[in-house]
Amino acid sequence: MRADSGCLIFEKDGELFIEAIKDSGNDKPEAKTIFPEDYEEIAKSVVRYVARTSDTVVINLGEQAGIFSNDHYITESNPKSIACLPLLFQGIPFGVLYLENNFLPGVFAPARLEAVKLLSAQIAYAKKLQDYIAEEPADDSTGHSGIVEYLTDRETEVLELIAEGLSNMEISEKLHMSVNTVKTHVKNIYSKLSVNRRVQAVQKARELKLL
Please report, for the domain that includes residue 125, its CATH number: 3.30.450.40
**Is there a single domain that holds both residue 159 and residue 74?**
no
**Contact indicator for 50, 36 with CB cutoff of 8 Å:** no
Query: What is the residue range of 158's domain?
Result: 153-207
Question: Is the pLDDT higher at 22 or at 188?
Answer: 188
Number of domains in the chain: 2
Residue 176 confidence (pLDDT): 96
Residue 22 included in any domain: yes
CATH number at residue 179: 1.10.10.10
Same domain for 185 and 101: no
Does pLDDT of 170 surpass 50? yes
Look at residue 108 and tell me if it is in a domain: yes
Read off the pLDDT of each residue in 100-122 and give the average, rounded to a whole number: 70
- The pLDDT confidence band at residue 144, using thresholds 50, 70 and 90, is very low
State whether 57 and 111 are in the same domain.
yes
Instruction: Find the angle CA(22)-CA(23)-CA(24) to the nearest 5 degrees.
Output: 130
Please say if the pLDDT value at position 1 is more than 60.
Answer: no
Distance CA 82, CA 60 (A): 6
With cut-offs at 50, 70 and 90, classify the pLDDT of residue 30.
confident
Same domain as 117, residue 13: yes
**One domain for residues 54 and 130:** yes
Plot region of 16 (φ>0 → left; ψ -120 to 50 → alpha; else → beta): beta
Check whether residue 15 and residue 75 sit in a common domain: yes
Q: What angle do CA 176, 178, 181 make, to 5 degrees?
A: 110
Judge if 128 and 33 occupy the same domain: yes
Q: Who has greater pLDDT, 77 or 126? A: 77
Cβ pair 123, 8 in contact under 8 A = yes
With cut-offs at 50, 70 and 90, classify the pLDDT of residue 78.
confident
Q: Choose among 15, 52, 35: nearest CA to 167.
A: 52
Q: Are residues 90 and 24 both part of a single domain?
A: yes
Measured distance CA(106)–CA(101) in Å, rounded: 9
Does residue 146 fall inside a structural domain? no
Task: Examine the domain organization and report whether 128 and 157 are in the same domain.
Answer: no
Residues 6+ apart with CB under 8 A from 29: 8, 20, 21, 22
Is 140 a member of any domain?
no
Q: Is residue 77 predicted with pLDDT exceeding 50?
A: yes
pLDDT at 112: 64
Going by their DSSP bridges, the two strands 5-12 and 92-101 should be labelled as: antiparallel
Rounded to whole angstroms, the Cα distance separating 189 from 158 reads 9
